[in-house]
Amino acid sequence: MRVLVTGGSGFLAAWIMRRLLARNLSVRAFDMRCDSRLLAELAPRKSI
Q: What is the pLDDT of residue 42?
A: 64
The Cα 42–Cα 11 span in angstroms is: 9
Q: Tell me the mean pLDDT per 10 residues along the chain, length 48.
A: 88 87 90 71 60
CA neighbor of 12 nearest in space, from 41, 45, 39, 40: 39
Handedness of CA 28, 10, 17, 12 (dihedral sign): negative
Q: Is the pTM of this model over 0.85?
A: no
**Other C-beta atoms within 10 Å of 39: how many?**
22
